[in-house]
Amino acid sequence: MENLTTAISVQVDSHDKEVASRILKNLGLNMSTYVNMAIKQLINKDGVPFEVVNPRPNKELLEAIKEGEDILSGKIQAKKYHSVKELIGDLESEV
C-alpha cells in the first residue's frame, strides 16, 4: 500500500507565519515538516499534545502585581538598595 499525501490550506496571521518560519528555519525545519510533526504528535497522543488553557494568574500573582504597582506609584514605601550585595545580605538575614 503506497503512502498518499494531501494538501492542507490554513489561514494564519502573516506576522505569526513570518516569526514561526524564522524559528523553524533556525531549527533546520520548514513549515510543512513542522505541521507533519504536529499532526503525528496529535495522533500519537490521541489529542492535542500540549496544554490548551486560558492563562489566568493565581491570587498570589495578582497580589504581587498589585503590590508592585503600589510601590511604583508611591502608595507603598519599599526599602531601597544601593547594591546587590546589600540586598543579598538582607535576604540572608531573614532566613
What's the structural domain count of the chain? Answer: 2
SS (H, E, C) the chain: CCCCCCCCCCCCCHHHHHHHHHHHHHCCCCHHHHHHHHHHHHHHHCCCCCCCCCCCCCHHHHHHHHHHHHHHHCCCCCCCCCCHHHHHHHHHHCC
Same domain? For 47 and 66 the reply is no
Same domain? For 77 and 46 the reply is no
Residue 23's domain comprises 1-52
Give pTM, 2 decimals. 0.55
Q: Per residue in 18-76, pLDDT tens?
A: 999 999 999 999 999 999 999 999 999 999 999 888 888 999 999 999 999 999 999 99
